[in-house]
Structures are given as structure tokens and as C-alpha cells.
Amino acid sequence: MSNEWPLFEVFIRGQHGLSHRHVGSLHATDAAHAIQNARDVYTRRKEGISIWVVPAAAITASSPDDKDALFDPADDKVYRHPSFFDIPDDAGAM
Amino acid sequence: MYAQMIKSEATTDDPEKLAAFQARIDAGDKIEPKDWMPQGYRKTLIRQIGQHAHSEIVGQLPEGNWITRAPTLERKAILLAKVQDEAGHGLYLYCAAETLGVSRDELTEMLLDGRMKFSSIFAYPTLTWADMGAVGWLVDGAAIMNQVPLQRTSFGPYARAMVRICKEESFHQRQGFDIMMKMVNGTEAQKCMAQDALNRFWYPALMMFGPSDAESVHSEQSMQWKIKMNGNDELRQKFVDQTAPQAKYLGLTIPDPDLRWNEEEGGYDFTGPDWSEFFDVLKGNGPCSIERIEARQKAWDDGAWVREARMAHAARKRATSVAAE
């Protein structure tokens, strides 16, 4: 198992100017090889116009155990959303 | 299906954690690789996704058999694209299985030494060009029946792989039906080839869904965990109901004298396959079972030096760029 090709995560930018989006992963020996493989595995039907590859080992992810600590505080801050505020119709478009 | 007779693994986890896990699944949460999961869920999924991946990869062989003999350049290009898709499907699924803590090499070795299986359907030979039509129409058609609901399966990476696969699978079925249409509108001999392909692939296609739910002891836990979405009989019925009118459209006869529309049930009555044949094929005694594994073993052995050389090359490039800095 030790000599298995390392894992890369693949990100693709679609045609319409959106951000690169994670599409999946693959094995390759280095980044250039990962781009070649990503082209074959993830863009056979014009799914994108740009590819990023990142060694999976280089990604730091939040832990599922920290989910509450990280995301719960947003629960009671509904005033961050524009719909929180009542603006009279007379005030015009806003 | 591509994953058949997947035994649900017993689980010996903390009952409280198990209950909380089940509650997440019941609420429609997706389980992600780093989340806590029962040992049985993990093991069952590795086996199921692994077998599914192996089936995609082994499934390239019966079709690859006809690439060099496709009747026109266009048919050849289409078949190449289809076989390349199957490779891609295998890769998506291997990656999903790897998130559960099994390596790609381990998965391959388990296929080669018989600890993991591939779908019974790929143990049958493809004898004529019409078989390329029958495989696309029936085999991919049956696969779609199972894969569409799996897009909602509880394990995130598996569900996402299924979304990608389903997008591509409908091209496969339609290209198969297109071949069948061409054949039945051709010469008498071509029409006979199409009928012969249907005769040979009909029952093996019905077997893909696995034995009757009444005899399927593994379904219940997997259904509860939402890694199996529908019963085997339900999907098989759906497949027959969809396929029988298509056969009629083609002017072909499904090789089942008892196949008839049941007005009351709103579906077709049909004869089930010979299950002793299915179990025999699954044990590795299908007409091409040995040939398929031998082909995979050869590819694995012959490719070893390529895998090693690429690693060595990448290591040397890294060393040279470090030295240059």
C-alpha cells in the first residue's frame, strides 16, 4: 500500500464565471499528472474551463465534533439577514 | 444489480450512538466520511461500493471486446466513449469507498483474490455486435433503475458519485437502444442477431436485481441505513414494465411465453430467472468469470512497472527542483 499514488482533490470552474467547485478526487503521482487525469475523469463533457488540483493531504478540514461550536452561534443572529428589517413600502426600493 | 447479495455486517456499537445515528439517517442527514458511523455501516458500504466499482471496471471488458470490430468509425468512437465512461464510474466509486478507510490497492487485491465480487451480468460473453445493443439497452437500463434512487443514499460520497454516474448513464442506454433499432431495421440476419442478443441477455438482466426480497436476508438493515433504497422485486418489476413495450416497439420477442400484461396489478406477469444459475455465476462459475478476473490480473501485473515508474519519475522531478532552488 505504501507505494500507492497519492490522492488529489479536484476543483473545476464551469463555463459561466462561477468559482472552482469540488468535483471529486483521484490518484496521481504529482500535480501535473493529476491535471491530466482530472481532464480525463472529470471533464469529458465540457464540464469546465479550468482545473485546480490539491494534494488531499494538504487540506485541513473542520472536525464534525466542532460543528456546534463553529456554526451554532449564527443561529441567533437573524439580524444579519436583510429580511430582518421592516422597511415601509413608502421608503421606496431598498 | 452492480452490487448483489451484499451482506449487512452485524454491528456491536454503543446502542445510544446507534440510535442517534439512525435518527440522523431518518431525518435525511447525509453521513460524511469523518462523522461517527457504526462499524457495520462502514463495512457494508465498503463491500457494496467496492463491488459496484469493480463491476464498472470489469464491465469494460465485454464491451471493449467489440471496439476494434465496431461496424463504423462513428460506432467505434461512441463505444470508446462509453467504455471510457465506465472507467470513470469505477474511479468515482473507488474514491467514495476509499473515504471509508480502505485503499485502492486493497480493493483491487480483494477483487483479484475473490474476497470481493463483480456483478453476475459481466460473467456473460458478448458474442455479436448486437450484444453491444442489448448490453446498453438492458444492462445499463437495469443499472439505471437501481442507481437513480441511490442518488439519495445516506452516505454523502456515494450519493455524489451516483449523481455524476446517472448523468452519464442515460447516454449508455440510449446508444444501446439505437444499435438495436438499427439492427431490427436491417437485413433479416441482423434482425436475427438482435433477437438472439435479447434471448441471451434477458434472464441475466433480470438476475441483476438479485434474489427475491422474500429470500434476501440482507435487505432490512441496509434499507434502514438507506444504503439500499428499494426492494429487489420492486425494481425488477419496474424494469420489466419499462422494457416489455420497448421490445414490442423493436418488433422483438422477450423469451418468456408467460409474459403478459396484468390489468389488475397494473404491471406485467413474467417468469423469474433460474436462481441456481445466478448463485453459480456469483460463485465464479459463469461462462466468462475466470476470463474476466484473468484479464484484470494481467492488467494489474502488466501495469505494475508503469505505476512504479511514474512514482520514481515524480520523486526524481521533486528532487531536481529542490536541488535547483
* Chain A residue numbers touching B308 (CB-CB < 8 A): 3
Q: Give the pLDDT of chain B (325 residues) as one tens digit per residue.
A: 677 777 776 667 889 999 999 999 999 999 999 999 999 999 999 999 999 999 999 999 999 999 999 999 999 999 999 999 999 999 999 999 999 999 999 999 999 999 999 999 999 999 999 999 999 999 999 999 999 999 999 999 999 999 999 999 989 999 999 999 999 999 999 999 999 999 999 999 999 999 988 877 677 889 999 999 999 999 999 999 999 999 999 999 999 999 999 999 999 999 999 999 999 999 999 999 999 999 999 999 999 999 999 999 999 999 988 887 7
Tell me, what's the pLDDT at A1?
43
DSSP code for A47 = -
The 10 Å CB-count burial string (b at 16+, else e) for B69-107 is: ebeeeebeebbeebbebbebbbbbbbbbbbbbebbbbbb
* Chain B residue numbers touching A45 (CB-CB < 8 A): 168
* Chain A residue numbers touching B85 (CB-CB < 8 A): 44
Contact check, Cβ <8 Å, B164/A24:
yes
H or E element: which one contains A55? strand A50-55
A15 φ/ψ angles, rounded to the nearest 5 degrees: -80, -20
Burial class of B257 by CB neighbour count within 10 A (0 to 12, 13 to 18, 19+): exposed
| Interface check B313 vs A, CB under 8 A | yes
- What is the pTM for the complete model shown? 0.92
H or E element: which one contains A23? strand A21-27
The 10 Å CB-count burial string (b at 16+, else e) for B41-58 is: bbbbbbbbbbbbbbbbbb
Mean pLDDT of chain A: 92
Query: How far apart are alpha carbons B185 and B187 in whole angstroms?
Result: 7
